[in-house]
Amino acid sequence: MNPKISVITPCRNMASFLKDCMESVLGQNYPNLEYIVIDGASTDSTVEVVRRYESRLTYWVSEPDRGQSHAINKGFAKATGDLLVWMNADDYFLPGAFAEVAAAWSAAPGAPFYFGDGIRVDAGRKVKGGFTPNGKVRFDRQALLLGLNYILQPSTFIDRKSFEQCGGLDESLHFGMDSDLWMRLSARGAPVPIQAVLSASREYESTKTSTGSFSRIEELRQISSKYSGREMTPGVLCYFFDELLRFRAANPDLLSADVDVAIRKLWQATSAGFSRFNAGPDGFPLKTTERRT
């Protein structure tokens, strides 16, 4: 039996990317699909794009919202599927993704979520590389608790009952709402890794991840601290270093050579410490922990 899959696309002023996203959903030709689009009162031609596919949508709306997390929760509140996934308008699914997820669900029903691999692409869909090192998708809750979000959101399909029971997305969060959700869902039992490439995640200068700067890092720190009980975790340090290097590249005259040396030493110590909780120096789990039932 194919599980019903409910896809939510939250969007605002994403006309240039939305066609790729919507066609990647509808082009799966999946027999038990529910597709919902929640637009945040776009002022470009986003609504015109949505209307081209209106006859194939379960529901859509264009109205102001309180942010991305609120928009996604609105969409999921309309959903009736066994599995839920949100696909941002600038990302897209790869062919055969839903069939892979359905097979994983049929083999192991009842997991809080199912997640696969993905590729990283630029704004023009040129492939920049894979998401998971060596293509080995694994799960380790301890690594997750210590701030390493190695789970690719558009490749993650969530059990609807588990989503509802854990309270949905935290609408106060703007950058790390997926990390927060994975923490709460995985407390209910281990998810199922899928050894398949399911989605493409676009990386370009105006994404929230790229523009969030240190506000994004602080939100991730607060999330990690909430679940780990630690003020700072290795995972958050990893993201901090990444942001610091971006800042350093954009402002080469603000940090001295001594600061560069100190940053490098601290990074070396941090990456070496990953091995203490089942993670490699790249921050991805080395093995999958046993699934709890």
Residue extents of the structural domains in the chain? 5-208, 209-277
Helix/strand/coil percentages in the chain, nearest 5: 45, 20, 40
Distance CA 187, CA 141 (A): 8
pLDDT of residue 263: 76
Fold of 5-208: Spore Coat Polysaccharide Biosynthesis Protein SpsA; Chain A (3.90.550)
Query: Could you read off the pLDDT of 212-262 as tens digits, one per residue?
Result: 578 888 999 999 999 999 988 888 888 887 788 778 777 877 777 787 787
Rg over alpha carbons for the chain, rounded to the nearest Å, is 19
pLDDT of residue 245: 77
pLDDT of residue 293: 37
CB 63 within 8 A of CB 70: no
- The residues of the chain scoring below 50 in pLDDT are 210, 291-293
pTM, two decimals, is 0.88
**How would you classify the pairing of strands 192-202 and 113-121?**
parallel
pLDDT of residue 266: 76
Would you call 261 exposed, middle or buried from its count of C-beta atoms within 10 A (0-12, 13-18, 19+)? exposed
pLDDT of residue 96: 98
pLDDT of residue 43: 98
| Of 3, 5, 40, 46, the residue nearest 25 (C-alpha) | 5
